[in-house]
C-alpha cells in the first residue's frame, strides 16, 4: 500500500470514527462534571432520635473531615481535574494532527496529478531532448517533494498513534479510578 493510499484509508477511518470522537467529547464532559468530589451530610431514618443521631454523626464527621478527609478530597479533585485537562489537550493534539494529515494528503494528491500530467506530456508530446530534460528535472523535483511528504506523513502517523495510545491509556485509568471511586 502506498503512502497516499495509507493517508486516504486514514481519512476514511477518521470520518467513520467521527461518531466515536463525539462520544469521547461527551465522556470528557461527563468526567468534568464528576471530577469534583463533595462529602454528603449524614442522615438517619430512626424515629424520634433520628435527628439527634444525624446531628451527632455530622458533628463528629466534621472534625474528622476537616483534618483527614478534606485534604484527601482536595487531592483527588486536583488529580481528577488534571486528568480531564490532559484528556482535552490530547484530544486537541489529535485534531491538529488530523488537520495536518489532511493538508499533506491534499498536497500529495496535487503533486501526484502534476506528476501524471508531466508523464503524459513526455509520452504524448514527443518534444525535443532539451524539453524532455526540463520535464525530467521538474519530475525529479516533484518526486523529491513526494518523498519528503511521505516522511512527514509517516512521522505524523507515528505521532497520531502515540496520541491515540495515550488517550486509550488515560481512558483505562479513568475507568479504573471511576470504579474505585464508586466502590
CA dist., res. 99 & res. 125, Å (int): 39
Cell of 136: 525530467
* 8 Å CB contact between 87 and 167: yes
130-172 pLDDT, tens digit per residue, is 677 888 899 899 889 899 998 988 998 899 999 999 989 988 8
CA dist., res. 70 & res. 37, Å (int): 10
pLDDT at residue 56, rounded to an integer: 74
Q: Give the closest residue to 166 by CA, choosing from 80, 83, 75.
A: 83
Structural domain tally of the chain? Answer: 1
Within-domain flag for 52: no
pLDDT at residue 43, rounded to an integer: 66
Within-domain flag for 152: yes
Long-range contacts (CB closer than 8 Å, 24 or more residues apart) made by 180-183: 181/37, 181/76
Within-domain flag for 97: yes
Q: Domain containing 131 — which CATH number?
A: 1.10.287
Cell 494529515 identifies what position? 101
Within-domain flag for 59: no
28-75 pLDDT, tens digit per residue, is 888 788 777 776 665 667 777 877 777 777 777 777 667 777 788 889
118-130 pLDDT, tens digit per residue, is 888 777 666 566 6
Q: Using the predicted structure, report yes or no on whether residue 10 has a pLDDT greater than 60.
A: no
Q: Which residue range(s) make up the domain with 135? A: 3-34+79-182
Element (H, E) at 172: helix 129-182
Amino acid at each position: 500500500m502506498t503512502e497516499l493510499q495509507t493517508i486516504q484509508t486514514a481519512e476514511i477511518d477518521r470520518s467513520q470514527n467521527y461518531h466515536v470522537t463525539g462520544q469521547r467529547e461527551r465522556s470528557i464532559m461527563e468526567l468534568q462534571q464528576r471530577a469534583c468530589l463533595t462529602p454528603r451530610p449524614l442522615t438517619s431514618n430512626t424515629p424520634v432520635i433520628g435527628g439527634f443521631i444525624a446531628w451527632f454523626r455530622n458533628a463528629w464527621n466534621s472534625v474528622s473531615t476537616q483534618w483527614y478527609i478534606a485534604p484527601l478530597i482536595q487531592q483527588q479533585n486536583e488529580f481528577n481535574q488534571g486528568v480531564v485537562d490532559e484528556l482535552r489537550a490530547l484530544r486537541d493534539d489529535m485534531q491538529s494532527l488530523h488537520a495536518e494529515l489532511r493538508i499533506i494528503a491534499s498536497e500529495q494528491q496535487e503533486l501526484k496529478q502534476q506528476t501524471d500530467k508531466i508523464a503524459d506530456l513526455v509520452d504524448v508530446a514527443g518534444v525535443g531532448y532539451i524539453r524532455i530534460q526540463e520535464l525530467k528535472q521538474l519530475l525529479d523535483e516533484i518526486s523529491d517533494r513526494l518523498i519528503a511528504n511521505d516522511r512527514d506523513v509517516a512521522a505524523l502517523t507515528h505521532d497520531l498513534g502515540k496520541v491515540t495510545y495515550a488517550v486509550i491509556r488515560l481512558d483505562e485509568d479513568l475507568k479504573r479510578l471511576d470504579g474505585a471511586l464508586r466502590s
